[in-house]
Structure 1
Amino acid sequence: MTTGDRLGKIDLLGLASSAKIARAYVYSVLYRAGRRDLDDIETVVSEVFTNAIRHSESGRRPGGLVQVRVYDDGATSRVEVTDEGSPNGIPAIPEQADPVSEGGRGLWLVRELFSSWGWGQDHSGRTVWFEVSRTSSRHFDDI
């Protein structure tokens, strides 16, 4: 996907309470675009947003921001979460998630649920993105 039409963008404070807003925002934007298979997308948005505030300047500095962008081209939806970056790279992704751990599942879920995802970092911050087609058959319950 070349990103498709941008359906929306929201800047949120780098606070744990903003993850719920990010999840609801992505849900509402994609629902209005006709998408109904949103459970896994909501889960992953929450995880990726939480990672952004835990592992970047967005969550460390007062007034830090995380931006969420949503795209759709009719066949595929794309969500991008951009934080203010950090001197560290992206955390390692475990081969298997620890079911009793308080963390470490965000990028693991992205990798397991969505075949097309990635991340990049430049001077303006770090972006984690994922795409899901409307015909995708892998779901959280399957992993």
Structure 2
Amino acid sequence: MKALGLLGQVDLPAQIAAVPRARSCVRGLLDGTDHPQTDAALLLVTELVTNSVRYSDSGRCPAGRITIVVAEHDGTLHIDVIDGGSWTSRPTVCPEVRLDDDGGRGLWLLQEVATDWGWYETAAGRAVWFRLAGK
């Protein structure tokens, strides 16, 4: 079995200003792939980085960091967003999503758009990952 091909890794400060930078960096990593789900990947990265800034310990710490890892295998993208985690919350899809709400749709979008997704704890914090199959 062929291993994941690492396309790149991005390390950013856990600040709201890092959200557009995360999109730009991931777009740059995906430019050469011609993956049909690039726009979906950028949307989901935006949502996950925003969640990291708002809800993780990385976002609560002035020196907090977020790492994004982008890989590909047989046409499927695999992206991890890694942050400091949180002792007070876990990634949970809101059961009632309203389109006119100001928030609460990030993990719902992830669930609806990604081929697969999940999260795991690391020594450094928490990783939320998703996969997007080439259609």
TM-score of the pair, normalised by structure 1: 0.86
Q: Is contact 2:75–2:133 with CA below 8 Å preserved after alignment?
A: yes
Amino acid at match of 2:22: A
Give the conservation status (yes or no) of the 8 Å contact 1:65–1:83.
yes
User: 2:93 maps to which residue?
Assistant: 93
Question: What SS is found at the alignment partner of 1:111?
Answer: helix
CA-CA distance at 1:57 after TM superposition: 1.3
Scaled by the length of structure 2, what TM-score is found? 0.91
Whether 2:131 is the aligned partner of 1:131: answer yes
Shift of 1:113: 0.7
Which residue number in structure 1 is paired with residue 32 of structure 2?
32
Return 5+ residue gaps in structure 2 as ranges: none
Mapping of residues 57-72 of structure 1, within 5 Å: 57-72=57-72
Q: Does 1:119 align with 2:91?
A: no
Shift of 1:115: 2.8
Distance (Å, rounded) in 2 between the aligned partners of 1:78 and 1:109: 16
**When the two structures are aligned, how many residues end up with a matched partner?**
135
Deviation at 1:118, TM superposition (A): 0.3
| Percent of matched pairs sharing the same residue | 33
For residues 83 and 92 of structure 2, what CA distance do their matches in structure 1 show?
A: 18
Runs of 4+ in structure 1 deviating by more than 3 angstroms, as ranges, are: none
The aligned residue for residue 80 of structure 2 is 80
User: Is contact 2:78–2:131 with CA below 8 Å preserved after alignment?
Assistant: yes
Distance 1:115 1:133, change over 3 A: closer
Q: Label 1:110 to 1:3 Cα distance change in 2 as closer, same or farther (>3 A).
A: farther
What amino acid sits opposite 1:129 in the alignment?
W
Q: Equivalents in 1 of 2:88, 2:6: separation in Å?
A: 29
CA-based RMSD of the aligned residues comes to 1.8
